[in-house]
Chains A and B, each alone.
Chain A
Amino acid sequence: MRRLIPASFIPLPTNPAVAQRTSRIELPWNRHGVDPYGIDQRELARLYTLLGFFYHRYFDVKVYGTENIPPRGRAMLVGNHSGGWALDAVMVIASLFFERDPPRLGQGMAEKFIQRMPFLAWFTSLIGQFLGIPENAVRLLEDERLLLVFPEGARGTAKLYRDRDSLVGFGTGFVRLALQTKSPIVPFAFVGGGEAIPTVANLYGLGRFFGVPYIPVTPWGAAIPLPVTLQILYGAPIILEGSPDDTDDVIVGHVERVKRRIAALIVQAREVRDGKRRESDLELG
C-alpha cells in the first residue's frame, strides 16, 4: 500500500537535483534514508523541491552572510519573527539548504499545538521540526545539529504590520541552553515577512476553536503571502562565556547582547531595502 504521507496527498514532484542535494545533508541516515529521530530523506527532498519554487521564483530572497553559518557541528540560529506565521523559519530552512555546501538541515522548535494536529504533527516530525521543549533542544545540540530559535515565540509571529520590524520580549531559555551545551549563537535578521503577510488583526477566539494560538488576517483575508523581497542577514557567531546556572541578571545581559545584534541587523536590512546603504557596506561581524 502506498504510504499516506502528508505531502503525497498532493502529488508533488521531487526534483532529482534537489533529491541528490538532500542526500548530502550530513545526518546519520540509515539504509532506509531515515535518521534516528525519524527524519525522512524522501520527505525532505519533496519539501525542498516545493520550497525551492518559493525560495527561487515566488519570493525575491536576498541572503547575506551565509559564511557565518558553521558548516558542521552544533549551533543555534537565533533571530526575529517577521510575518503572521512562521514564513521566516521556512525561508531560513530553505536558505540553509540551498546556500550552504554541504547543505544543512535547520531544525526549528515547534509550538505545542502542532503536535496535536493530525498530519501537521506527522509532517513536521518527518522533516525534523520537533517540539520546542528544553530536553529536545539539548539532545539535538549535543547531537551536533543546527537549531533554529525564535526567542520571541508565538508573540513574535502575532506582530501586526505596523510593528513588523520591532522586537517583542525575548525569552531567556535560549541563552542558558547555549551556555549549557557550549553552542555558538548565530544571530540573524529576517526582514520582509511583514510586507509579505501584512497582518491587520489576529483572531484569537477562532484560533482557539481550531486548536491554534490565533488566526492572522490580512487586507485580503487569508494570510497568503505576497511575492515580495525577503532579506535574511546572518551575523557572525557569538560565543557566550559563563555558566547556565548564572543568576537571571547575568543571563538577561547575554540576552540583551544577542537582541541588540539582531536589532542592528534588522536596521541594516531596512537601510538596504530603502536604498540608504549599499549591500557591500553591510556590517555582519
Chain B
Amino acid sequence: MKVVVTGIAGALGREVASRLVGKGHEVIGIDVRPWYHPPDGVRVVQADIRKRPAEDVFRTMRPDAMVHMATVTHLTHRSKDRFRINLGGTQAVFDHCHAYGVKAAVFVGRHTYYGAGPDSALCHTEAEPPMAVHTFPELSDLVAADLYAGSALWRYPAIDTSVLRLCYTLGPLRQGTLAAFLRGPRVPTILGFDPLFHFIHEYDAADSIVCALESRLRGVYNVSGPPPMPLSVIVREAGRTAVPLPEMLLRPLLGRFGLPKLPPGALEHVKYPIVIDSSAFRKATGFAHRFDEDATIAAFREAQASGAKNVT
C-alpha cells in the first residue's frame, strides 16, 4: 500500500512511518519540518499541507491511504496561524483524498477533545460531545478538526475514515503535551487536586495508528493504553518533584520563574481528569497495548536522564 503520512517529521510520525515500511508499505511523508535521513522506503516532501506541493503529492503519486498527523497544539505553535493549520489543513488533505482516489484515511486526534471540568464524566465514550470548547477555548481548533475529519464519513463515504482520539503519549521519544509538562525537574500541580492522567507508550500509540489503517477502520474511536494513574504518582515515578501551588497563586505565576506558560483553560486539565473508554477500538481492531504504566513512565525517565547527560 502507498501511504501518505502528514506531520511525518514529528516523533510519533517517524515511528508510524518506520512501522509502515517494516510492514512492506511505501511511505510518502509531508511536513514543513525536515527529516534529513529517513529510512529506506520513506520519501519526505518538505511542504505545507495547505499548499500546492502537498496536493501534487496526491495527484502524481496516487496514494492508497493517508495518515493525517499534521495538527499542532498551543504548546508547540503559538501563532494565530494555528487555527488555519489545524482546520484548513485537515480540510485540504481530506479534499485531496476524495479528489485523487485515496481509499483509507486515519485522522490522529486527541482525547483532550472531551475537555476536563468538575462536571465531566469519569470515563468518556465516543458518543459524547466536546466539552473542551467552553472549558479550554484554545483547543477549539483541534475539536473542530476532529469533528471535521469525522464528517468525511458522510461527505466522502467511499473513503474508509477513522478518527482516533489518542490519549497522552509518553515514553523514550519525550515528545507531546504530557512529556513537555514533565520536562523540568519541578512540575507545578494544583494544591488539593490530583487528577487521573491517561497515557499510552509512544510505540503503542504508533502501533495503534498502523493497526487502525490496516484494519480499514471506519468511525470515531478512543485509543488508550494502560489504566490511568494519578498525576502525583506519574510525577514521582518520572523522577520529578511535584510543586503543589494554590490555584490563586499559580495563575499569576504561569510563564514566570521557569513555570510553563499555559492558557487558563489548561489549568482545568491539571485539576480534573480526562479518562477515555477505548474498548470499542480494541474490539474493532484487536489492538492490545504492550507497555504497562510502569514500563511507560520508566522509559520516559531513563530517556530523560540520558538526554540530560548528553547535554552536559
Contact = CB atoms under 8 A, between A and B. Distances in A.
Interface residues of A, number: 28
Interface string A140-175: 100000000000000000000000000000000000
Interface in B188-246: 190-194, 196, 227-230, 232-233, 236, 241-242, 244, 246
B193 A122 contact: yes
A38 B196 contact: yes
B241 A122 contact: no
Interface stretch (A46-54, A112-120, A179-187): A112-120
Interface string A1-31: 1011010000000000000000000000010
Nearest to A6: B192
Contacts, number: 65
B1 interface: no
B234 to A, nearest CB: 11
Nearest to B227: A36
A130 B236 CA distance: 25
Interface in A120-146: 120-122, 126, 130-131, 133, 135-136, 139-140
Nearest to A120: B192
A36 to B, nearest CB: 4
A40 B194 CA distance: 12
A139 B118 contact: no
Contacts of A34: 229-230, 233
Contacts of A57: none
Given A1-B241, A34-B230, A36-B227, A135 B191 contact: no
Contacts of A4: 191, 232, 244
Contacts of A38: 196, 228, 230, 273
B259 interface: no
Interface residues of B, number: 28
B192 A131 contact: no
A117 B230 CA distance: 18
A121 B192 contact: yes
A32 interface: yes
Contacts of B230: 34, 38, 40
B119 interface: yes
Nearest to B117: A115
B122 interface: yes
B301 to A, nearest CB: 16
A68 B241 CA distance: 48
A13 to B, nearest CB: 22
Interface string B238-256: 0001101011000000000
Contact of B119 (A112, A117, A118, A126): A112
A121 B242 contact: no
A133 B236 contact: no
Interface of B: 118-119, 121-123, 190-194, 196, 227-230, 232-233, 236, 241-242, 244, 246-247, 271-273, 275, 293
22 contacts: A4-B191, A4-B232, A4-B244, A34-B229, A34-B230, A37-B122, A37-B123, A37-B196, A38-B230, A38-B273, A40-B230, A112-B119, A115-B119, A115-B272, A122-B193, A122-B194, A131-B118, A131-B122, A133-B119, A135-B122, A139-B122, A139-B123
Given A37-B196, A117-B192, A139-B122, 14 more contacts: A1-B236, A4-B244, A32-B233, A37-B122, A37-B123, A38-B196, A112-B119, A115-B118, A115-B272, A118-B192, A118-B193, A126-B194, A133-B121, A140-B122
Interface of A: 1, 3-4, 6, 30, 32, 34, 36-38, 40, 112, 115-122, 126, 130-131, 133, 135-136, 139-140
**Which 7 residue pairs of A and B lie closest in terms of their CB atoms, listed nearest first?**
A118-B192, A115-B118, A135-B121, A119-B192, A36-B227, A38-B196, A136-B122
